[in-house]
């Protein structure tokens, strides 16, 4: 175990299993960009033959520094900085400042070191890394600051895509750390709940692709793939403890690394054919199922229900039932409407579509009738 400086944070990670890959990647980045030169512009880094997620990290470092510098500048209210043509011109100037920023050799190497450590952490444990990285030691960030910091994370883009839409829909100007972490967990839960073993394995694809690139340039042929210990961390980050434990059991059987197609085969064989852990983790607890069975059925015509299931739930009847039961379990319509709004946001559903309105009206009627009983 070692402390790793990751952009603006220090946090613990087990980097020993990636020690060789870290060195190989840093050597390639240096060779393909700055080489032995004393300095290099960001524009040249972005034009070099290095991974795109590394380029994103370098660019984000400068965007973040410029943002902080802009915040320190005094702004007179006598000038109309918000005027559209002035704002556009300012953005163009900022872009030129960013692209022409020059890294000295020492600063380049320090940034490179932070970049590769950050990327290994983020690809292996995305939510854990975001929790440590985004807020630093703060409890709250403005939505603008959060957006800038998410630019460091060019992989797993869906986190920010969904989170941004969610907070904008709430007219949020600032986001608390606990609130964001809870949302990231819910995003993973929603994705996992409706996916097969193959699709869950596909969530690791950015990690495998990154490792494959490093192993290709390093000429490594003996130990391809990702260490099962790292895969254990990945599934633990997704709150899939059975998958995490299964990876640990493979390691105990002297299986130390796994390629992408091997992971798919393992998940299909172990968790689908034997009908076990993955399905249990994704489905409600038996007590929850029993509770759902006695809940009042949502009063909605069969024809409209079929239309809602098709349009909003991808023809998945069980998904529809689970979601409706979950929303109907709330004590009031005020609480339920927040859950319904969250469902629409998470699944990119237009709340004013015909089916969404039908579902909203049916649920509202249910809570109205319940309150008058």
Q: Which of 37-41, 164-168, 206-210 has the lowest mean pLDDT?
A: 164-168
Domain residue limits, the chain? 2-180, 198-282, 295-372
Q: What is the pTM of this model?
A: 0.71
pLDDT band at 296; cut points 50, 70, 90: low
* Residue 155 near residue 122 (C-beta atoms within 8 A): yes
- Cα(12)–Cα(4) distance, rounded to whole angstroms? 6
Amino acid 224: pLDDT: 79
More confident residue, 179 or 86: 179
Please tell me which residue, 351 or 103, carries the higher pLDDT value.
103
Q: Which two tokens stand for residue 167?
A: 């907070």
**SS3 annotation, 226-259:** EEHHHHHHHHHHCCCHHHHHHHHHHHHCCCCEEC
Element (H, E) at 102: strand 102-104
From the list 63, 26, 29, 60, the residue with the least C-alpha distance to 45 is 29
The answer to whether the beta carbons of residues 247 and 240 sit under 8 Å apart is no
CA dist., res. 333 & res. 370, Å (int): 10
Residue 199, Cβ neighbours under 10 Å: how many? 13
Name which of 73-77, 238-242, 299-303 the model is least confident about.
73-77
pLDDT tier for residue 195 given thresholds of 50, 70 and 90:
low
């Amino acid at each position: 175990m070692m402390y790793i400086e990751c952009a603006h944070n220090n946090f613990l990670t087990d980097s020993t299993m990636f020690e060789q890959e870290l060195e190989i990647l840093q050597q390639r980045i240096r060779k393909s960009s700055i080489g032995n030169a004393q300095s290099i512009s960001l524009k040249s880094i972005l034009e070099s033959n290095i991974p795109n997620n590394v380029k994103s990290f370098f660019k984000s470092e400068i965007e973040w520094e410029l943002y902080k510098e802009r915040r320190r500048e005094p702004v007179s209210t006598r000038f109309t900085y918000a005027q559209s043509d002035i704002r556009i011109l300012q953005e163009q100037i900022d872009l030129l400042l960013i692209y022409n920023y020059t890294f000295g050799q020492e600063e380049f190497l320090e940034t490179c070191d932070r970049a590769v450590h950050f990327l290994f952490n983020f690809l292996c444990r995305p939510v854990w890394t975001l929790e440590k990285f985004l807020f630093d030691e703060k409890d709250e960030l403005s939505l603008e600051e959060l957006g800038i910091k998410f630019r460091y994370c060019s992989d797993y883009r869906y986190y920010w895509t969904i989170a941004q839409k969610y907070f904008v829909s709430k007219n949020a100007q600032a986001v608390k750390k606990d609130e964001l972490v809870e949302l990231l967990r819910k995003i993973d839960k929603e994705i996992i709940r409706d996916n097969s073993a193959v699709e869950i394995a596909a969530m690791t694809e950015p990690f495998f692709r990154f490792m494959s690139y490093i192993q290709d340039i390093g000429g490594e042929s003996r130990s391809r793939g990702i260490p099962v210990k790292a895969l254990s961390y990945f599934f633990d980050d997704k709150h899939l403890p059975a998958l995490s434990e299964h990876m640990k059991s493979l390691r105990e059987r002297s299986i130390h690394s796994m390629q992408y197609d091997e992971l798919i085969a393992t998940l299909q064989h172990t968790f689908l054919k034997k009908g076990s852990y993955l399905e249990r983790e994704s489905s409600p607890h038996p007590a929850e199922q029993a509770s759902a069975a006695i809940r009042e059925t949502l009063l909605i015509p069969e024809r409209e229900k079929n239309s809602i299931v098709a349009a909003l739930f991808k023809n998945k009847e069980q998904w529809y039932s689970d979601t409706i039961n979950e929303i109907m379990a709330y004590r009031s319509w005020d609480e339920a409407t927040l859950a319904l709004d969250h469902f629409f946001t998470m699944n990119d559903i237009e709340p004013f579509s015909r089916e969404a309105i039908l579902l909203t009206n049916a649920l509202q009627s249910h809570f109205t009738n319940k309150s008058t009983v």
